[in-house]
């Protein structure tokens, strides 16, 4: 159900796809394209995150690399664009800041925040999330391995959309590069070439054999994100928004 305030059309309908995009892959692009079609969006803005404190146990690639890969991946689609708001703000990215900045830049646009099932439940479970829902409509997209039905979503504030299942994750792409396996057709061609040119994710080759050398780890276990680790701060999960 679309909330009444969103029916009043003011200016452009703009999708916002936030992510670490390390690297951007076809799962992201298909989700954005599908939501764009279903919701009649004029544009989808991809917003790579700033540099987090630390995501899981790994270093995230420099923001400029993630930004450029996102530009390369979206360049051919006239309805896709990339915003630097989170990269330029720096530090960990909170969805409230992303949406506030985009709203300031485009006060007449109606914003639709697009997010995967895994990320959605974290964002909307933040207790002081009312402002988020004033800034944008939230669209949760399906993602293999994550069930929207389990996300415990508050009623009426999000739309759920089934997108063609692409079992691709950035974690798996990084892992593949680290193991010397191809990422062709999982990410756009230009992104494959950019990864190679910049030597991204090769670190994993060393780490895979040292830190994470457990031979009993189940297949695909690396794709499970255990959530951000926030040194020096112990927020109550539902009282503060978790950075993306």
Q: Which residues contact 179 (CB under 8 A, 6 or more apart)?
A: 204, 205, 208
Q: Is 162 within 8 Å of 1 (Cβ atoms)?
A: no
3-state DSSP assignment of residue 63: helix
Q: Going residue by residue from 52 to 91, which x/- string records binding to ligand ATP, judged by CB under 6 A? A: ----------------------------------------
CA gyration radius, the chain: 18
Span interacting with ligand ATP, options 69-77, 162-170, 177-185, 233-241, rule CB under 6 A? 162-170
Minimum separation from the CB atom of position 31 to ligand ATP (A) = 4
CB of 12 to ligand ATP, least distance (A): 22
- DSSP strands (E only) in the chain: 13-19, 43-48, 80-82, 110-116, 136-141, 158-161
Q: Determine the interface stretch with ligand ATP among 25-33, 75-83, 149-157, 211-219 (rule: CB under 6 A).
A: 25-33
The Cβ of residue 56 has, within 10 Å, a number of other Cβ atoms equal to 14
Determine phi and psi for 56, rounding to 5 degrees.
55, -135
Q: State the minimum distance, in angstroms, from the CB of residue 21 to ligand ATP.
A: 5
- Residues 100, 171, 220, 240: which binds ligand ATP (CB under 6 A)? 171
Three-class secondary structure of residue 60 per DSSP: coil
Q: Which stretch binds ligand ATP (CB under 6 A): 17-25, 151-159, 193-201, 231-239?
A: 17-25
Q: Which residues bind ligand ATP (CB under 6 A)?
A: 19-22, 27-28, 31, 115-116, 118-119, 141, 143, 163, 166, 168-171, 225
């Amino acid at each position: 159900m679309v909330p009444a305030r969103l029916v009043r059309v003011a200016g452009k309908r703009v999708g916002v796809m936030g992510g670490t995009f390390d690297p951007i892959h076809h799962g992201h692009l298909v989700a954005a394209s599908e939501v764009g079609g279903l919701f009649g969006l004029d544009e989808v803005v991809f917003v790579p995150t700033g540099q987090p404190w630390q995501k899981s146990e790994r270093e995230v690639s420099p923001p400029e690399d993630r930004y450029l890969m996102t530009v390369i991946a979206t360049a051919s689609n006239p309805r896709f664009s990339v915003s630097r708001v989170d990269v330029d703000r720096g530090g960990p990215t909170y969805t409230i800041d992303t949406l506030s900045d985009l709203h300031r830049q485009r006060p007449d646009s109606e914003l639709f925040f697009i997010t995967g099932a895994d990320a959605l439940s974290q964002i909307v479970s933040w207790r002081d999330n009312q402002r988020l829902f004033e800034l944008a409509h939230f669209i949760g997209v399906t993602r293999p391995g994550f069930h929207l039905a389990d996300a415990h979503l508050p009623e009426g504030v999000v739309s759920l959309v089934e997108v063609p299942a692409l079992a691709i994750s950035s974690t798996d792409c990084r892992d593949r590069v680290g193991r010397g396996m191809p990422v062709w057709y999982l990410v756009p061609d230009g992104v494959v070439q950019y990864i190679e040119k910049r030597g991204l994710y090769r670190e994993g080759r060393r780490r895979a054999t040292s830190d994470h050398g457990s031979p009993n780890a189940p297949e695909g276990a690396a794709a499970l994100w255990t959530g951000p680790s926030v040194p020096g701060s112990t927020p109550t999960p539902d009282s503060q928004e978790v950075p993306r």
